[in-house]
Amino acid sequence: MANQLAANPMTLDTPGTIFNAYMKINNIEFVGYTADTDEVVLQNVDGKNLWDARGSTNFNVVRSGHIGWVKGLKFVSITPGSTGVVKVYFE
């Protein structure tokens, strides 16, 4: 599956630069993973970490809480072989 950017929430499963402009992010979720060691990393376009999350042992949705305004968005990494996806809720 490729990243889906046309809807709210955006659904990300492929690392890369998502946006270069400022955007307001409400929250981020990591869902659908199958191992508590699965990890995702998101940064702004300047390389500052916005969110780094790992799966939980009970496989619940991992939520970021409110993020706010960010300068671009890069999906830096996801654990190789992970079935998880990142959902980005924005305004």
With a CB cutoff of 8 Å and minimum separation 6, the contacts of 7 are none
Which pLDDT band, with edges at 50, 70 and 90, does 77 fall under?
very high
Structure tokens at 77: 């990494």
The residue extents of the domains of the chain are: 10-90
pTM: 0.94
Band of pLDDT at residue 79, cut at 50, 70 and 90 = very high
Q: What is the pLDDT of residues 26-51, one digit of tens each?
A: 999 999 999 999 999 999 999 999 99
Contact present, 62 and 56 (Cβ < 8 Å): yes
Tally of helices (H runs) and strands (E runs) in the chain: 0, 7
What average pLDDT does this structure show over 73-85?
96
C-alpha to C-alpha distance for 59 and 74, rounded to whole angstroms: 24
